[in-house]
Amino acid sequence: MDRQCSRSMLRYLVVCLLSLSVAMPRAIAADHPLKGQKIDMAILGIGGWLPSRLGVDMSPMFAKYAKEKYGYDVSFTFAEAPFSALFQKAASTLATRSQEYNIIISDSQWLGALAEPKWIVKISDLLKQNPEFNIEWYDKVIRDSYQIYPDGSNDLWGLPEEGDTVALFVRKDLFQDPNEKSAFKAKYGMELPQTFEDWEKISFAEMEKIAEFFTRPDKGLYGTVLQYSKEYDFMSMYLYPFQWSLGGQIWDPKDGRIYGILNSPENAEGMVWNKRYLKYQPPGAINYGIAENIDAFTQDKVATAFQWAAVGLAMINDKNRDKVMVVPPPGVRQKDGTIKRLYCIGGQPWVINAYNDKAHMTVAIDFLKWWYLPDTQLEFAKRGGNPAVKSVLEAKGFDSIHPWYRAYKYMLSRSRDFWHEAKYSEMLAAQQEAFTAYATGQVADPKVALEWAACEQQKILFEAGRTKIKPPASCANAQLK
Amino acid sequence: MQRDWRRSVYHVVLWVVAVIFFLPILWIVLAAFKTKDDLLAVPVKWAFRPTLANFVDLVHRHDFFSSLWNSFLISASAVVVALVVAFLAAYCFSRFKPRSTDFLMFLLLSIRMVPAAASVVPVFLMYTALGWKDTFWGVMLFYAMFSIPFSVWILKGFIDGISQRFDETGLVNGGSRLHVMFRVVLPQVRPGLIAAFIFNLIFVWNEFLFNFIIGGKKTTMIPVSLVTGSLAQGGVDWTFVATLASVYLVPPVIAIYFFQKYLLVGMTFGTVRGEV
Amino acid sequence: MTAETGSPREAWRQDGMSFRQRVRAGRMRWIDDSRHFPGMLLVPVLVFFVVWNLVPLFWMLGMSFFNYSIITGSPPRYIGFGNYLDILGNFSVWQALSKTFVFVLGAVGIETVLGVVLGFLFWGSSTMPGRRLALTLLFAPMILTPAATGTFFRLIYEPTFGVANHLVQRFFGTSINFLGDRSWAWFSVLAVDVWMWTPFMILISLAALGSVPKAELEAAEVDGLPWTRRIRHVILPHAKFILMLGVLLRTIDSFKVMDLIYQLTRGGPGNTTEVVGITLFRKAFEGFTMGWSGALAVIALLIAIAFTSIYLYILNLSRAGKEAA
């Protein structure tokens, strides 16, 4: 080519490149389908539950982010219902294919009930378009509990809003008091646990001694407090640790067998132990749920409390901040001397309403992508939430943000969820009845209670067509008395 | 002299009874002025430093005024609609005595017998299909239906007690039937109207389940607000519940205080026209 | 009204009524003269009844023949009377029913007795200072929002934080777990219901006693009749009707009781206080098994209707008897 030609070609090329570089960002911004629009989103959350509240309180930050990054306005409205009524509200609205709530903060057990009728979006379908959702979680249990349904498959239906485990909140001022220490040593021949590491080695049997030591009704102090209320899942959540740590199971997810698995000797033993703990708790503990447990601890009525990490901010207030430490709860000592802990996982996943129209669906996805950005997760942690993302939890200085984080992380790998079954609600109600019947003394033999619960649950699953296994003939005579 | 003394003792006894029944409510009202720790303190703290902080928090809640307004509007409209419909029906039953009167009256009573938990879901499905969920008219008319049976029973009793002569006179004097109904008979059943109004109002005022399920953001009344707001941080927000319950108590109590005479007469279902 | 000659319209025109007034009068006339006037009066109430009552009821009835759980996503499966048979053969349902009966008898019984006694007490108090205020205070338990009632009585009954146990400890030296102890749970729940609804029965009693004609009362006093005879022959015949109506209303309501017990004990401890209303609620709202819960609701409704019919029959007989006398 002659010089004239090549120079003009070069100029042409430069102009092209320049105009492209100016046009492209605009093209990319213009690519977002919702630019310039205003979308109203509704979130259904759990009333009076701090982590759920946080998800909602932080949404204005997303509005800012969406405006800057994507160019659309979004406003959020919230609806709340307490735990025991939330599923009813969610199910009623989703059953009618309503768009009333675009995003729902669900409890982890409900995943099956919401996924089975396809009321919520299957996250695994979104993964290809939105690789941001391929997040590395702190522990495999996160995926199993907050995402997977049915158990054992690879289908993901939710994304963890927050993780939650049971921790032991301890009044360290009582434990570190020299008089208490010497009295305890004199009486039981062992040391009162002082540090996190000490508590890691405590078994249920040793915990019983500690609880007994601190049970002083005349002074208005009790050793510990759990939850035994028939409401929602409170009783089950605090009984499972005893049963599971002893090696009990609740069902076989592959074929839906419950009878024979739930009513096992290990589970019966767990119930006996769990009931025995009542002796060291305030007299009303038989009716305690989360709220009463918090009150007992913050009103200085108990020396220790088994409680969810999610309500850490409620358990630790200005009055008792210097007196509280949070440690792993006890387990069962195995033959080789190690402690086996298997507790129930709490926490809630975000689920997306499958009936959202395109605009709301897009916003929901954008919102969730923003939720898992490191900055957002850090802010969430600072405000008292429990993130589940591995990189966040392992970041430097994370443990010191809140006193319960160390115990939370420790217990995450030692927790499990129970069934993710569509009929979970009915099954839960049946076992709540059975478990509380034994704990209150209505039924004298734990095996009878377990038998009844197993029969009921097998019947529920069988009649709903979820399993081919029928309850055995002996179930016709099973009675809760 | 002795009679006065005995009478005074008698009055004191009555007051004691009234106060005994009121005691738990007094405790709740007092709790609204306490801090949470004072509230939970055992033994009961009768002497405490009162605070208005709870009330301040209450009015700052984003849904307080809207729920309160909804409560007033929905309860009042529902009961008024019910009264109109019930009056028409009661007049018919009383004056025209159609053969199916007893059957229909019984049928209306049977509405009360259906357990709420069972009928909520079909009503919910129906409302969603019709698009009435969370609409003022949908919720209000539902509550109107709630209030009709009781109103019909009371009003019929009262209309029965008004001589048919009034009707005949009115008609002879050139009035239309509607005129007779609303200008002649209605004013005379005022105690029944007021009793039915107050009773049903209180019932709708305190209703929770249907408001929770078929209501929504636009039609939430206070009881639902109370329940959803009663949990804070996983624990019960005692001061909130106490404060809201106390505030919510005031309008019906005022109504009962000022309209007591009518209430007492009204509950006689028409067998008494004067003072009780 | 009607002129001797010509139609009413003629008369009106002669009376000088405007066109509009004549149209309106004509419409009124049409309404008045219509044979269907009584029917028209009933139309609104029937519309309400059909739309808001019959439709849900028929849906419930229809669903009760299916096995349908909303949340499993599978379509309803026709099973005929399967739900009914399951319910009738279900031990826990019978337990719940018997608990409900016990509750109704206990609650209505105590409330009626207390209500009548207290109503009697308040009856002669027209000169009492501040009577209106006292009665308002007395009626307050009925007015408090049930959600708050349940929440606060839970607190009152709570062994560690509650007043009730504190007083028991003070005066009796022991501790009672009102809602958690099986032997106490029933009484505790019953006590709250009695507290809430005795004022209603007092109101009914006052009205019932007030319906006794003053003339007869004065006559009885002048005659120097002893109180027992006064009650039997003068008061009771008149007061009976309203009183029984009040008892009927209370019976119907306490048969359905759910909110209160649910809040206080959730049917616990175990299932000590599980009445039919709670079983129904759990099956309908936690299990979303519309078929089964629909069948239970139908059964409960039939029981309520049966009792009410018998009751009203007796009431009508007594009323007819009174009128005949």
pLDDT tens column, A197-227: 999 999 999 999 999 999 998 888 999 999 9
Nearest CA in chain C to A286: C180
Domain assignment present for B22: no
Q: Does the beta carbon of B130 lie under 8 angstroms from any beta carbon of chain A? A: no
Domain assignment present for B31: no
| ipTM confidence | 0.89
- CATH code: domain of residue B198: 1.10.3720.10
Residues in chain C closer than 8 A to A287 (CB atoms)? 154, 158, 177, 179-180, 265, 268-269
Q: Does the beta carbon of B234 lie under 8 angstroms from any beta carbon of chain A? A: yes
As a whole number of angstroms, the distance between CA C242 and CA C210 comes to: 10
Note which residues in 65-94 of chain B have CB less than 8 A from chain C: 84-86, 88-89, 91-92
Tens of pLDDT, residue by residue over B86-135, are 999 999 888 888 788 888 888 888 888 888 777 887 888 888 888 888 88
Q: Percent of chain A scored above 90 by pLDDT?
A: 50
Task: Please compute the mean of the pLDDT values over residues C132-153 and round it to a whole number.
Answer: 89
Do residues A214 and A303 touch, judged by C-beta distance below 8 A? yes
Domain that residue B131 falls in: 62-266
The pLDDT value recorded for residue C265 is 84
Cβ separation of A117 and C289 shorter than 8 Å? no
Where do you find CATH 1.10.3720.10 in chain C? 84-324
The pLDDT value recorded for residue B268 is 83
Across the interface, which of C125, C153, C208 has its CB nearest the CB of B14? C125
Domain assignment present for B15: no
**Reported pTM:** 0.83
Task: Please compute the mean of the pLDDT values over residues B230-247 and round it to a whole number.
Answer: 82
Tens of pLDDT, residue by residue over A289-304, are 888 899 899 989 999 9
The pLDDT value recorded for residue A422 is 82
| Three state DSSP letters for chain A | CCHHHHHHHHHHHHHHHHHHHHHHHHHHHHHCCCCCCEEEEEEEEECCCHHHHHHHHCHHHHHHHHHHHCCCEEEEEEEEECHHHHHHHHHHHHHCCCCCCCEEECCHHHHHHHHCCCCECCHHHHCCCCHHHCCCECCHHHHHHHCECCCCCCCECCEEEECCCEEEEEEHHHHCCHHHHHHHHHHHCCCCCCCHHHHHCCEHHHHHHHHHHCCEHHHCEECCCCCCCCCCCHHHHHHHHHHHHCCCCCCECCCCECCCCCCCHHHHHHHHHHHHHHHHCCHHHHHCCHHHHHHHHHCCCECEEEEEHHHHHHHCCCCCHHHEEEECCCEEECCCCCEECCEECCCEEEEEECCCCHHHHHHHHHHHHHHCCHHHHHHHHHCCCCCCEHHHHCCCCCCCCCCCHHHHHHHHCCEECCCCCCCHHHHHHHHHHHHHHHHCCCCCCHHHHHHHHHHHHHHHHHHCCCCCCCCCHHHHHCCCC
Cβ separation of A314 and B234 shorter than 8 Å? yes
Tens of pLDDT, residue by residue over C255-287, are 888 888 888 888 877 788 888 888 888 888 777
B-C interface: how many C-beta pairs under 8 angstroms? 271
pLDDT tops 90 at residue A151 = no
Task: Please compute the mean of the pLDDT values over residues A340-360 and round it to a whole number.
Answer: 92
**What does the mean pLDDT of chain A come to?**
87
Q: How many domains does chain B have?
A: 1
Domains of chain A, with CATH numbers? 38-163+348-402 (3.40.190.10), 166-344 (3.40.190.10)
Tens of pLDDT, residue by residue over B219-234, are 889 988 888 887 766 6
As a whole number of angstroms, the distance between CA A267 and CA A272 comes to: 9
CATH, range C84-324: 1.10.3720.10
The pLDDT value recorded for residue A192 is 92
Helix (H) or strand (E) holding B236: strand B235-236
The pLDDT value recorded for residue A150 is 84
Do residues C248 and B269 touch, judged by C-beta distance below 8 A? no
Q: Residue C8, exposed/middle/buried by CB under 10 A (0-12, 13-18, 19+)?
A: middle
pLDDT tops 90 at residue A169 = yes
Tens of pLDDT, residue by residue over C36-52, are 788 888 889 999 999 88
Domain assignment present for B275: no
Name the most confidently modeled range: A151-165, A455-469, B69-83: B69-83
As a whole number of angstroms, the distance between CA A310 and CA A313 comes to: 8
Q: Percent of chain C scored above 90 by pLDDT?
A: 18
| Shortest Cα–Cα distance, C46 to chain B (Å) | 9
pLDDT tops 70 at residue A376 = yes
pLDDT tops 50 at residue A25 = no
State which amino acid sits at residue C304. A
The pLDDT value recorded for residue A18 is 54
**What does the mean pLDDT of chain C come to?**
83
Cβ separation of A437 and C271 shorter than 8 Å? yes
Task: Please compute the mean of the pLDDT values over residues A443-459 and round it to a whole number.
Answer: 92
Across the interface, which of B96, B241, B253 has its CB nearest the CB of C143? B253
Nearest CA in chain C to A424: C287
The pLDDT value recorded for residue A340 is 92
Nearest CA in chain B to A84: B228
